[in-house]
Each structure stands twice: as structure tokens, then as C-alpha cells.
Copies of this chain bind each other. A is one copy, B any other.
Amino acid sequence: MTGLRERKKQRTRDALIVAAHELFVTQGYDATTVDQIAEAVDVSQRTFFRYFSNKEEVALFVQDMVGTFFYEAIRASPPGEPPLECLRRTLDDIWDDVQGAVEEIVPFALHLKMCQVIETSPALLAAHLRHSLLMEEKLVQEIARRTGVDPATDPRPRVLVAAFSGVMRVAAREWSMRENTSLEVARTVTRDYLAQLGPALTADWGRRN
């Protein structure tokens, strides 16, 4: 299982991710070449592309991990909960575990800075949005399964996930632009934005909150 070969591979992959993150954060995404990343880990460019199918993938690796983490948490949730409530509560529950999972690969502070790079680099943001869309589709299937609804005929799972994800993206963007990008802030921002979903859709907006 843990042959020398396996461990070596894991190590160079992690090293590539960390090196790429550091370069992206300090120089910017576009200004960093794949050659620089490969050189920092002392492998050839060709090897880089054997680990990651493109430059975006190494930048979004951790993000994708977090997404998968959330998805698995939903899967593991007890059934019977109303779907929106399930999404909301699960999200609220896993922050600390997410941090732990991230730190097995990249220092958390580096990940936070990387989030800002993703939001500000056009190419990276585009790729991120597409990855999110793929994850949304998986969430749709899971929500449909849990509620015993057929997503091919009933639009509610897709509509719910689309609305939820849209709000989460807005919250993430808002959060990434604060001075204080701590876990605690992330938790409250997402909570607040989700709480606004109902009020925002109602016909009349009385002034003030």
C-alpha cells in the first residue's frame, strides 16, 4: 500500500501544490509559469502535467477538496431533514474539519490568500465557477436521492441547489475581500447571507435589514 513509489509520488504532488500556491500568491497567477513551479520542485515541466492536467488544476486543487468534503458531509447527513436546512446546517457544522483537511496539504493562511487570488484572476475564477457547477450537479443528485424526488422531472432540487450555491458564492466573494478572513468571519458571513435568502425574495423590501 505505502510503497516507496507511492510515498514519493504523494510527496512531489504535495510539493507541487505548495510551490504553486506560494508562487501564485506572491507573483500572481498569470505571471507564474509552469516552468517556474516545476523548477521549484526540481522536476521537469512534463512531469508537472502528468500530475495536473493543466495550470488551473493545481490552483484549484484545495478548493475542489473542500467542495468534495462538503458533498461527503451531506451524504453522511441523517435523512429526513428538510433539504435547505440540511445544506445550511451541514455547512455550519464542518468548518473546523475543513480547516483540518486543508492543512494536511497547505498551510491554512496560504489557502486563504489563494482564495483571493482565485477571485481576482479572471482565468482562475472562470475555472473555479465551472468546477463549482460540476459539484452542484453532484449535490443535486444527492438532494434528489434524499428527498425521493426525480431531478429529471422535478426542478426543485436543481433550483434549490442553484439558489443555495449562488448565495454561497456571493458570501465567499464578500468574505474573501474582508480584511479579516478568519474561519469565524466565514461562518457568520455565510450564515447571514443564507438568512437573507428568504427576505430577498419577498415582494416588498422594507428599508433597513
Known: A84-B203, A163-B167. 14 other contacts (CB 8 A): A82-B204, A82-B205, A126-B129, A126-B130, A155-B174, A155-B192, A156-B196, A156-B200, A157-B200, A158-B174, A159-B167, A159-B196, A160-B200, A162-B166
A193 within 8 A of B: yes
The reply to whether A156 and B83 form a contact with Cβ atoms under 8 Å apart is no
The reply to whether A163 and B201 form a contact with Cβ atoms under 8 Å apart is yes
Interface string of A117-145 (1 = CB under 8 A from B): 00000100111011001000000000000
Total copies of this chain within the assembly? 2
Tell me the residues in window 195-209 of chain A with beta carbons closer than 8 Å to chain B beta carbons. 196-205, 207, 209
> Which residues of A are interface residues toward B (Cβ below 8 A)?
82-85, 122, 125-127, 129-130, 133, 147-149, 154-160, 162-163, 165-167, 169-170, 174, 192-193, 196-205, 207, 209
The reply to whether A201 and B203 form a contact with Cβ atoms under 8 Å apart is no
Give every chain B residue within 8 A of A201 (Cβ-Cβ).
84, 160, 163, 197-198, 201
Task: Tell me the bound Cα distance from A193 to B165 in angstroms.
Answer: 16
Give every chain B residue within 8 A of A169 (Cβ-Cβ).
162
